Amino acid sequence: MKTLYFPRRSYPVETLFNGTLSLGGRDQETTGFAWWAGNARLINLSGKLLGAHVAHAGLIVFWAGAMNLFEVAHFVSEKPMYEQGLILLPHLATLGWGVGPGGEVTDTFPYFVSGVLHLISSAVLGFGGIYHALIGPETLEESFPFFGYIWKDKNKMTTILGIHLILLGVGAFLLVFKALYFGGLYDTWAPGGGDVRKITNLTLSPNVIFGYLLKSPFGGEGWIVSVDNLEDIIGGHVWLGSICIFGGIWHILTKPFAWARRAFVWSGEAYSSYSLGALAIFGFTACCFVWFNNTAYPSEFYGPTGPEASQAQAFTFLVRDQRLGANVGSAQGPTGLGKYLMRSPTGEIIFGGETMRFWDLRAPWLEPLRGPNGLDLSKLKKDIQPWQERRSAEYMTHAPLGSLNSVG
């Protein structure tokens, strides 16, 4: 038992310490961190920290591959993906692999291949992590100066930042190439209920792309989450990839300005906190996207959005009652408002009842029934297709909010 004294306390702090398990330069007395502090013990050991990061990457990729194969093994083609609790296959389907018209899964072999490739990659990363953690040099500065670094070296840190930005830009362009040349993506807005298609007419206008950033997130504007076509999404990735690559080159070739040197804390701990803050922003943005956007996250795979499920209930009952002889254009509810249809604050014809609060919903199964003044009564009577009925009935009973409506 070792007794360690904390300078601001007048009494000893006793910490269990087994000297037989300590490694030279990485034990608690040398580094100031106990074993449970994780990679903090490796702050000044760039080689070992590399090993920890590569091994961690291998663990992540192994999970992706194993979970991918697990979902393939348990996949039931008769049920929608969102009803099976799948979290990886919807992303592969969105990329256009293994799906056909209407989002129907036609081939699970691409999903199997994806899982196997991830498992093989995880083995390579795992062996690399073990090598660098146990066998490779403890520090990289002497043996491999290009990969070595010192946390306080501001110029080196911005170079590393630049390299990361370039890699992010390349990742953005991989999606662009997939959409343009390698099979295309699944487009939920394709005629007839969605299909896989190549993107042929990119939106590259800066007014359109950056206009999303200037939109309000409130009042039906929707900020960047309001994007409703693949042309804008892929065009945005062209801009994003270009900015990341040029920004990365700029950070590699330049040194931090004086104000940046003074403003930031230049330490490993600070870089970790900056990164976690950025990830939090990414997480909140992605949360809004998956909750409200049914273009980047097609409802066929991820399930309906909250507003979509509510509008689907109103649509399903309108179709049913119309077949039973109800005049949906003039029927009134108990409050005197339209039971099936009413006017929005801007004068459009919208669904009546509780779902009126979601009147600005845009969904591919509903848009064909709109006209210049909102829902078109003539189309509601004559043009409703079976796939629209099936889809709305499915979405009605799978609301993501338990209390959103009375079914499901």
Mean pLDDT of 170-198: 97
Domain identity same for 155 and 293: yes
CATH of the domain at 320: 1.10.10.670
Question: How many Å apart are CA 382 and CA 248, to the nearest integer?
Answer: 55
Helix axes 230-253, 154-180, angle to 10 degrees: 150
User: Nearest 5°: CA angle at 218, between 215 and 222?
Assistant: 50
Nearest to 105 by CA among 71, 66, 131: 71
Task: Render pLDDT for 344-375 as a digit per residue (tens, 0 to 9).
Answer: 988 999 999 889 999 989 999 999 999 999 99
pLDDT of residue 327: 94
Mean pLDDT of 198-211: 97
For residue 401, pLDDT over 80 is answered with: no
Q: State which of 264, 282, 298 marks the end of a domain.
A: 298
Is 136 a domain residue? yes
**For residue 256, what are the contacts with CB-CB under 8 A and spacing of at least 6?**
154, 155, 158
Question: How many Å apart are CA 260 and CA 279, to the nearest integer?
Answer: 21
pLDDT of residue 403: 56
Is 263 a domain residue? yes
Question: How many Å apart are CA 46 and CA 52, to the nearest integer?
Answer: 10
Cβ(187)–Cβ(197) below 8 Å = yes
User: Band of the pLDDT at 36, cuts 50, 70, 90?
Assistant: confident
Classify residue 54 by burial, with Cβ atoms within 10 Å: 0-12, 13-18, 19+: buried
Length of the chain: 408
DSSP letter for 336, please. S
Domain identity same for 160 and 249: yes
pLDDT of residue 16: 47
Scored b (16 or more CB within 10 A) or e, 266-300 reads eebeebeeeeeeeeeeeeeeeeeebebbbbbbbbb
Mean pLDDT of 225-236: 97
| DSSP run (H or E) holding 215 | none
Is 407 a domain residue? no
State the chain's mean pLDDT as an integer. Answer: 91
For residue 14, pLDDT over 50 is answered with: no
For residue 201, pLDDT over 60 is answered with: yes
The structure tokens listed for 296 are: 């980047």
- Compute the Cα dihedral for 128, 131, 132, 133 and give only its sign: positive
For residue 398, pLDDT over 60 is answered with: yes
Is 401 a domain residue? no
- CA separation (Å) from 34 to 18, 19, 151, 158, 186? 11, 12, 21, 31, 49
3-state secondary structure of 349: strand
3-state secondary structure of 370: strand
For residue 9, pLDDT over 70 is answered with: no
The structure tokens listed for 380 are: 């509601």
Domain identity same for 278 and 335: no
Domain identity same for 281 and 209: yes
User: Band of the pLDDT at 405, cuts 50, 70, 90?
Assistant: low
pTM confidence score:
0.88
Domain identity same for 339 and 225: no
Mean pLDDT of 314-334: 93
The structure tokens listed for 310 are: 């509510």
pLDDT of residue 24: 56
pLDDT of residue 39: 82
- Cβ atoms within 10 Å of 128's Cβ, excluding its own: 17
State the Rg of the chain over Cα: 28
Task: Render pLDDT for 99-118 as a digit per residue (tens, 0 to 9).
Answer: 999 999 999 999 999 999 99
For residue 316, pLDDT over 80 is answered with: yes
**Greater pLDDT, 30 or 59:** 59
Domain identity same for 141 and 84: yes
**Greater pLDDT, 372 or 10:** 372
The structure tokens listed for 339 are: 């039971």
Domain identity same for 20 and 138: no
Domain identity same for 294 and 313: no
363: left (phi over 0), alpha (psi -120 to 50) or beta: beta
Q: State how many domains the chain has.
A: 4
Domain identity same for 24 and 113: no
Is 287 a domain residue? yes
Q: State which of 84, 116, 148 marks the end of a domain.
A: 148
For residue 312, pLDDT over 60 is answered with: yes
Percent of the chain with pLDDT over 70: 92
Mean pLDDT of 156-165: 97
Domain identity same for 233 and 371: no
Is 406 a domain residue? no
For residue 25, pLDDT over 70 is answered with: no
User: Band of the pLDDT at 2, cuts 50, 70, 90?
Assistant: low
Domain identity same for 181 and 276: yes
Domain identity same for 290 and 216: yes
Q: State which of 96, 119, 148 marks the end of a domain.
A: 148
Is 365 a domain residue? yes
Question: How many Å apart are CA 229 and CA 28, to the nearest integer?
Answer: 55
The structure tokens listed for 215 are: 């939109």
User: Band of the pLDDT at 26, cuts 50, 70, 90?
Assistant: low
Range of the domain at 15: 2-41
Cβ(358)–Cβ(349) below 8 Å = no
Residue 104 identity (one-letter amino acid): E
Task: Render pLDDT for 241-255 as a digit per residue (tens, 0 to 9).
Answer: 999 999 999 999 999
DSSP secondary structure letters along 6-17:
-TT-SS-EEE--
Question: How many Å apart are CA 390 and CA 241, to the nearest integer?
Answer: 39
Question: How many Å apart are CA 327 and CA 386, to the nearest integer?
Answer: 20
Is 405 a domain residue? no
